[in-house]
Structure 1
Amino acid sequence: MPAASPAAVAALQRRIWDGRLPLEIRLAATDCTTYDTSEPYLISLPRLAYLSPLLPRLHAFFRSVLVNPEIPSHEAWLSFDGLPLKWHYPVGLLHDLFSGAQPAGLDDASKMESSAVQHSIHAPPQQDIQTVDDGTLPWRLTLHLSAYPAELIFPLDAEGDVLHDAFVNAVKEADFVRNGTAKAAMSLSKQDASTLWRAVLEHDMGVFNTVNAKLLNPPGVSLRHVPIKVYLPVDSQADIPGVVVEEKEETGEDQQPQRQAGSVRVVQGLVPPVSPSRQVTTLGTALNTLLPTVFPSKRNPVLACPVLHGAVVPMSASLEELGRAASYTDGFLHVVVVLLS
């Protein structure tokens, strides 16, 4: 299969950056002087965005009904069905993991590999890369200003440095996976590093790409591995031989697991863009390598399907092309596993 054209890669990236999620955020009853009668905060947020930059606006919106309005906004936290939401996960990834919403294309997952039209980046599905409205939208979250779950999510600071540092560390990690060294990320000028983060906060794809291109195409360096992380729901958490588990997430002690929100296992490995036999590595090949018990076939989604940016991804898609077009802003492909019933 020929490589995707730059125009095709750019078109898919544009569609991903255009993806948004409607949120309905309510104040927790324990932090509200009027209990559960306060008006919700409604917003359409880019799927690639982080949640913590919203906190000052949420604090200002609910200030008149806060039990303790003197608590600063950076000490607030957000939850879904009792699960604290991690600050360093983009909202689109959080939604794919925990909302229980049906991803776009799930009904056609079993047919996807038999459809030559939808095999790769060259001819993406006609359906926009948006979350399917299956009754789970808007995504309903809860804002809390007490009982911060520091054992589950890291505390923030007033200046936003904590989230920024987490993002920078992820960018460096992705750079190291790609090239075997983080030299490209470490060599960014202070202005470039600041521009990259500002582009993420302002959701400016054009400005983001001017800096990100320096990370994706460092002079004299060939791509060694494609940065990818795979997220398994609670139902698929049997021990998997040969797999490095990056982290395991649990709900609080008093919370019962809810759908996929009870526990998540993050699997990561070094996956080259081309095999030793010079075959292009597909997403199916990568998943079969990392999780052979969950993805026993390299071509067909037998037990589970991969979801990225709210949509099922063809197993035959080139991993390198996905990395260039569909990575999150930290440089990783964050692929969520959805079990097939």
Structure 2
Amino acid sequence: MSSRDVTSRVRQSVWNGSIPLEIRLHKTDCRTYNDSDPYLIQFPRLSYLGLLIQRLHDFFEDQLIYPEVSPAEAWLEYEGVPLKWHYPLGLLYDLYAGAEPAYPNDSSEEQTSERSSGGEEKESLPWKLTLHFSDYPVDQLVKLDAEGKHLHDLFIHSVKEADYLRNGSGKTVMFLSKEDSTQLWDSVEHHNFSLFSPINHKLLNPQGINLRHLPVKLYLPHAASGAEETIKEEKESAPGSLRVVQSLITPSLSSRQPQTIGTALNAVIPSLFPSRRSPLLAHAVLHGAVLPLGASVEELVRAGSYLDGWLHIAVAMM
């Protein structure tokens, strides 16, 4: 099987990933206090909770104390942590659900022992979230609008940022036709792979341009201190606050060897990844799976990036 076929199959598998959600209305917004029916849905890992806002409002409208409240007032939380609308669902789940990630088939006996030594695994499916329509945490969440324009703008901004890193400019995105731009957002809204794939191919393979840098963001819990190399940080004291780390990651090393997850993490946060080959203090988690440190970053970008073109990698302490 050719590398292109492997990339295509991995991309399709990533696209098909989903998480069952059980969403309940918070008792302070519910007419019957805490006796509302749950909203159940199998939602794509790559998608955004912001796209559920209208459906959630429609479902719970009859149970709201103030049914005239705008859908834009809705926000979701998990165990006291407000969930960012503009983060992909899969990233949020990997960061907060407490689920054990999948390990590579070649995991060592030591890793297997480590996984089983922590007692019973926390029940994480369906992922049980709480919906609010009051007391919006404006200091922690971007305020969305009922029409979804803010989510669209945040998504396009992230696509442009990834394009700039890959190519040294945002021209590939900027030069998309109006039809292609509309098709890209439609593919996100409706989770339609046949719409998404041709536009994504154009973005990842611009004619006459070689990849300059790879769009990678690392998400660290604040407990993971010592990342002095942080270039971009979100400093918050609220529950679930994160340290977001990104740096310029080239496709190849100076030795012309491919950049791997191990070499990239060792360069960006050596305090957590002192070894390029073996995870000693932390794991890198993408789409619910622990990444082998020998995996090529460029191949992961092509096969496993989120809809905005980024590798959003959760760092889990061992």
TM-score, normalised relative to structure 1: 0.87
Amino acid at match of 2:26: A
Residue 205 (1) aligns with residue 193 (2)? yes
Q: Structure 2 CA distance, aligned partners of 1:206 and 1:134?
A: 36
- CA deviations 1:309-335 (Å, max 9, x no partner) are 011111100110000000000010001
Q: Structure 2 CA distance, aligned partners of 1:19 and 1:184?
A: 28
Q: Which residue of 2 aligns with 1:311?
A: 289
Q: Which one of 278, 281, 303 corresponds to residue 256 of structure 2?
A: 278
Decide whether aligned partners of structure 1 residues 306 and 109 sit closer, same or farther in structure 2, where only a CA change above 3 A counts: farther
Residue 244 (1) aligns with residue 231 (2)? yes
Amino acid at match of 1:267: V
Decide whether aligned partners of structure 1 residues 170 and 221 sit closer, same or farther in structure 2, where only a CA change above 3 A counts: same
Q: Structure 2 CA distance, aligned partners of 1:331 and 1:164?
A: 15
Aligned 8 A contact 2:231 2:245 in 1? yes
Q: CA deviation at 1:247?
A: 2.1
Aligned 8 A contact 1:273 1:281 in 2? yes
Q: Which residue of 2 aligns with 1:322?
A: 300
Q: Structure 2 CA distance, aligned partners of 1:250 and 1:153?
A: 14
Aligned 8 A contact 1:237 1:265 in 2? no
Q: CA deviation at 1:84?
A: 1.0
Aligned 8 A contact 2:53 2:146 in 1? no
Amino acid at match of 1:62: F
Q: Which residue of 1 aligns with 2:47?
A: 49
Q: CA deviation at 1:54?
A: 0.9
Match of 1:55, SS state, is helix
Q: Structure 2 CA distance, aligned partners of 1:112 and 1:9?
A: 30
Aligned 8 A contact 1:109 1:301 in 2? no
Q: CA deviation at 1:112?
A: 9.9
Residue 97 (1) aligns with residue 95 (2)? yes
Q: Which residue of 1 aligns with 2:218?
A: 230
Q: Which one of 177, 180, 190 corresponds to residue 189 of structure 1?
A: 177
- Counterpart mapping for 1:51-90 below 5 A: 51-90=49-88
Q: Structure 1 CA distance, aligned partners of 2:197 and 2:223?
A: 37
Q: Structure 2 CA distance, aligned partners of 1:110 and 1:84?
A: 36
Across the two proteins, how many residue pairs are aligned to each other? 309
Residue 170 (1) aligns with residue 158 (2)? yes
- CA deviations 1:229-259 (Å, max 9, x no partner) are 0011122033x233202423442xxxxx4xx
Match of 1:42, SS state, is strand
CA RMSD of aligned residues (A): 1.9
Q: Structure 2 CA distance, aligned partners of 1:155 and 1:48?
A: 21
Residue 217 (1) aligns with residue 217 (2)? no
Residue 333 (1) aligns with residue 311 (2)? yes
Aligned 8 A contact 2:104 2:292 in 1? no
Match of 1:137, SS state, is coil
Q: CA deviation at 1:4?
A: 6.6
Amino acid at match of 1:302: L
Q: Which residue of 1 aligns with 2:130?
A: 142
TM-score, normalised relative to structure 2: 0.93
Decide whether aligned partners of structure 1 residues 335 and 112 sit closer, same or farther in structure 2, where only a CA change above 3 A counts: farther
Match of 1:230, SS state, is strand
Q: Structure 1 CA distance, aligned partners of 2:224 and 2:122?
A: 24
Q: Which residue of 2 aligns with 1:121?
A: none
Q: Which residue of 2 aligns with 1:19?
A: 17
Q: CA deviation at 1:74?
A: 1.8
Decide whether aligned partners of structure 1 residues 106 and 148 sit closer, same or farther in structure 2, where only a CA change above 3 A counts: farther
Unaligned runs of 5+ in 2: 112-120
Decide whether aligned partners of structure 1 residues 25 and 213 sit closer, same or farther in structure 2, where only a CA change above 3 A counts: same
Q: Structure 2 CA distance, aligned partners of 1:86 and 1:291?
A: 24
Match of 2:223, SS state, is helix
Residue 265 (1) aligns with residue 253 (2)? no
Higher relative contact order (CA 8 A, sep 6+): 1
Aligned 8 A contact 1:21 1:138 in 2? yes
Unaligned runs of 5+ in 1: 114-132, 252-256
Match of 1:33, SS state, is coil
Q: Structure 1 CA distance, aligned partners of 2:287 and 2:2?
A: 20
Of stretches 57-66 and 321-330 in structure 1, the one that deviates more from structure 2 is 57-66
Amino acid at match of 1:54: L
Amino acid at match of 1:274: S
Decide whether aligned partners of structure 1 residues 151 and 16 sit closer, same or farther in structure 2, where only a CA change above 3 A counts: same
Q: CA deviation at 1:158?
A: 2.1
Aligned 8 A contact 2:71 2:145 in 1? no
